[in-house]
Amino acid sequence: MKTVFVDVDTQLDFVFPSGALYAPGAERIVPAAGALNRFAAARGIPVISTTDAHAEDDAEFANWPPHCIAGTLGQRKPESTLLERRVVARNREPLPETAGAQQIVVEKQTLDVFETTTIAGLLERLGAEHAVVYGVVTEVCVLFAARGLQRREMKVTLVTDSVAALDVANAARALDELRAGGCRLSTRQDLEVAAPAL
């Protein structure tokens, strides 16, 4: 079974207290996300890192404070989550060459990565059948990513100690929904034990 790791929106505006749309406590998952990305790379597993890359007037800002505006410091990923060989897949542009890339950074302008023009083709190109998902925030972009993967009839594993939420109650409901849809909830330690099967 071909596995991909999906690192959702671990960006400075979300994961650090000075960020424009900080998820309380999210800084604690930055080392975990970096470790998971390196864990995947060491095993030849591609990492898809979704990132918001907003224009200053994106429609999303009617409902959320402005954040992750393309080219700003807040839009960047922490260095510890970046892999050496990476490419950027920009929404509404042709999918770039990904052969040899450890990490494909998928830019998006909406909550749901499956509204981009790139993600479906990328998953097809990678032959992905199983996705290991982690990042921020549990009840919004992580939920949308995992739902989209489930709709593609992929096996989904969510790493519960490597996600962070804006609202704990909403996050719990999101996990319940994903579990009911067949998502497996795991921890980093469980993944390390299961590594030969990934």
pTM for the predicted model, two decimal places: 0.97
| The pair of three-digit structure tokens given for residue 98, joined into one six-digit string | 């990904």
Backbone angles phi, psi at 115, to 5 degrees: -90, 0
> What residues make up the domain containing 132?
3-197
Q: What total number of domains does the chain contain?
A: 1
Round to whole Å and give the CA distance between 198 and 194: 7
Q: Judge whether 56 and 33 are in contact, CB under 8 Å.
A: no
Tell me the pLDDT tens digit for each residue of 72-118: 999 999 999 999 999 999 999 999 999 999 999 999 999 999 999 99
| The pair of three-digit structure tokens given for residue 126, joined into one six-digit string | 């990678």
CATH number, domain of 70, equals 3.40.50.850
Tell me the pLDDT tens digit for each residue of 117-137: 999 999 999 999 999 999 999
